[in-house]
Chain A
C-alpha cells in the first residue's frame, strides 16, 4: 500500500511539473518466458515522463495480467535525470530506483546511478546499481527474523551499447543492443542479454510506437551459455511538446 501511495505521489508530482514542461505518457504490454514463470508471464503498465529545462523525471509501473494470485503488482521504476549536450551529442546523468515485490516472501530493491550518452547512431549507458533482497513485512511466521532479513549485493555495473541502424532523427528505426538491464530488470554484470527493437515516431502528433525483444542466456561468464528465456514489450508513447 505504501508503494501504491508513493506511486500516486510521484505521478502527481510528475503531472504537476508538466504544466510548464514537455510531457510523455505511455502504456505497454509485455510477455516473457523463463524457468521460474509458469508457464509465461504477461504484464502491462504505464509510463510517464516530464522534462523541464535540463531536468527530467520518469516513472513506470508494471502489473501482472496472469498469475495475479502470486503477484499482482510487478514493479515500479522511477528516475531523475539531468540532460545536456556535448558537441551536439546528448548526455544524460541520472539516478534510478526500482522496486520489485518479486515473490510472496521477498522483494528486490535497486538504487542506481546511470549515464546515458548518444552519439550519431550509437547509444551507450554505464552505471552502477546497489541491489538488496529483503523479506517483506508480515512473514514472521515463515521466516526466522532473528537472522538477517535483508541482503545487499555488492555494487553491480550496469551497461548498454546500442546501435541504431537508421539515423535517429528519422521516423523509423531499428536497433540492436547488448546490455544487462531493462526497464524492470537489472541483471548482474556477468549476465548480459541481447536486445533488439524498433520504433515508429510520428513527428506531427508525437505518437511513438515501439517494440523490444530481449533474449536472455545464463552462464555467459561461466563460458557455458544456456538458454534462459526471453521477453517482449510493445507499447505506445505520446510526446507532448
Chain B
C-alpha cells in the first residue's frame, strides 16, 4: 500500500487518480467503462462496496426507527424488543386500584352538560395544557378526560403534570398511552394517577350516561380487559342512556399513518362489540390529527394532539343533552 501511494504521488493528480481507479477497476473486473466518470463511479462502488453496505444498513435501520416511531422524540426504543409492563399486568393492577378507589358517579341537577376531552399533551411542554387547564377550571365543563400520551413517561414529567393539577378539584380522568409507558412509565402512572381501566357515570335528573376508559397503550386491549369489557357491556349497557368509550390507540386507519392500531383480528372484534352494544362514540388520540368516521351505530373520533409545537394542536368537547350526544373539535 505504501509503494502504491508513493508511485501515485509521482504523477499528476488526474493521472494518479486515474491510475488508482484503473487498478481498482481491473481488480473488480469491470473494465468496460466508456468514460472517466463511469470509471470513477464504478471504481468508487467497487472500493466502497462493503462500507456502502454497512452504511445502507445503518441508514435503513435509522430511517426505520424514525419513520416507525409514533412520535417525533422522547421515544424509549427498548420497547421495540420488550416492554417492562404488560397489558395483562396493567389491567390486573388497575382492577386492584379500582377496589380501593371506587368508580365515580357525578350527579348533576341539569340535563345538559359538557365534557372536555384531549389527547397527546406530551408534557414536558406546558403551554397548550395550561390553556386547556384554564378552560377546564373556569368554564362550565363537567370533567376533563385525557386519552393518553399525557407525558413523556419520565417521572419528572409525571410530577410536572401532577403538580399542575394538584389544586384542582374538578374531576379528571386520565388514560395511559404508549408514551406514558416509555421509560418504565407505568409505575409512575400507577403511582400518581392510578388505574387505566375504569369507568365513570354521569347522572342527570332523568338519565345515566356511562363513560368507559380503557387501556390500549401497548397497542392491544389484551384478553382480560376485552373479556371484562364484553361482560360489563352485556350486564350493564341497558342501564345507561349514552355509552362513550375513551382509549388511546385509534381503532380505524382510514388515512395513511405510521402509527399502529390494534391487530386486524382485534379491530374487527371491537367494531362488532361496539355495534352490538350501541356504543355512541369512541374517542381516541395517538394519531395526532383529528378524524371522524361513523360506522353503523358508532362514531369513531381521533383527537388532535394537544402537545406544544403541534401546528394542529387542539382538543374536543362532548355535548350531551336529552336528545343527543355530539362532539366538536376545537383547534388552538
Where the two chains meet, the residues of A that have a C-beta atom closer than 8 Å to any C-beta of B are: 34-38, 100, 102-106, 108, 131, 133, 135, 142-145, 147-149, 151-156, 185-188, 190-191, 216, 218-229
| 21 A–B contacts from the bound complex (CB under 8 Å) | A34-B263, A36-B226, A36-B265, A102-B272, A104-B276, A106-B275, A135-B275, A147-B297, A185-B265, A191-B263, A218-B263, A218-B266, A222-B219, A222-B259, A222-B260, A222-B286, A223-B77, A223-B80, A225-B79, A225-B83, A228-B220
Number of A-B contacts (CB under 8 A): 170
Are B258 and A190 in touch, CB under 8 angstroms? yes
Query: From B223, which residue of chain A is reached at the shortest CB distance?
Result: A35
Chain B interface residue number, banded: 35 or more
Q: In this complex, which of A100, A102, A105, A223 has the most chain B Cβ atoms within 10 angstroms of its Cβ?
A: A223
* Residue B112 CB within 8 A of the other chain: no
* Residue B271 CB within 8 A of the other chain: yes
User: Which of B178, B272, B296 interacts with A104 by CB under 8 Å?
Assistant: B272
Closest CB of chain B to A158's CB: distance in Å? 12
Say whether, besides A36-B266, A219-B219, A226 and B178 are in contact (CB < 8 Å).
no
Say whether, besides A223-B178, A224-B178, A218 and B83 are in contact (CB < 8 Å).
no
Are B256 and A216 in touch, CB under 8 angstroms? no
Q: Is the interface of B mostly helix, strand, loop or mixed?
A: loop
* Residue B295 CB within 8 A of the other chain: yes
Are B75 and A223 in touch, CB under 8 angstroms? yes
Closest CB of chain A to B74's CB: distance in Å? 11
Are B268 and A102 in touch, CB under 8 angstroms? yes
* Residue B253 CB within 8 A of the other chain: yes
Are A221 and B258 in touch, CB under 8 angstroms? yes
Which chain A residues lie closer than 8 Å to B313 at the CB level? none
Q: In this complex, which of A103, A224, A227 has the most chain B Cβ atoms within 10 angstroms of its Cβ?
A: A224
* Residue B46 CB within 8 A of the other chain: no
Which chain A residues lie closer than 8 Å to B253 at the CB level? 153-154, 156, 188
Are B268 and A103 in touch, CB under 8 angstroms? yes
Closest CB of chain B to A146's CB: distance in Å? 10
Which chain B residues lie closer than 8 Å to A36 at the CB level? 223, 226, 265-266, 269
User: Which of B218, B221, B264, B286 interacts with A187 by CB under 8 Å?
Assistant: B264
User: Which of A104, A224, A229 interacts with B219 by CB under 8 Å?
Assistant: A224
Are B252 and A105 in touch, CB under 8 angstroms? no
Are B260 and A220 in touch, CB under 8 angstroms? yes
Say whether, besides A143-B275, A148-B296, A185-B264, A222 and B70 are in contact (CB < 8 Å).
yes
Which chain B residues lie closer than 8 Å to A38 at the CB level? 227
Which chain A residues lie closer than 8 Å to B295 at the CB level? 133, 147-149, 151
**Bound CA–CA A44/B139 (angstroms):** 59
Query: From A36, which residue of chain B is reached at the shortest CB distance?
Result: B269
Say whether, besides A188-B260, A223-B80, A148 and B293 are in contact (CB < 8 Å).
yes
**Bound CA–CA A216/B263 (angstroms):** 9
Q: Give a binary string over B81-103; 1 marks a CB under 8 Å from any A CB, 0 the rest.
A: 11100110000000000000000
**Bound CA–CA A184/B209 (angstroms):** 39
Query: From A227, which residue of chain B is reached at the shortest CB distance?
Result: B86
Q: Give a binary string over B1-26; 1 marks a CB under 8 Å from any A CB, 0 the rest.
A: 00000000000000000000000000
**Bound CA–CA A229/B264 (angstroms):** 12
Are B264 and A186 in touch, CB under 8 angstroms? yes
Say whether, besides A143-B297, A154-B254, A224 and B182 are in contact (CB < 8 Å).
yes
Are B83 and A226 in touch, CB under 8 angstroms? yes
* Residue B61 CB within 8 A of the other chain: no
Closest CB of chain B to A71's CB: distance in Å? 11
Which chain B residues lie closer than 8 Å to A153 at the CB level? 252-254
* Residue B284 CB within 8 A of the other chain: no
**Bound CA–CA A224/B82 (angstroms):** 7
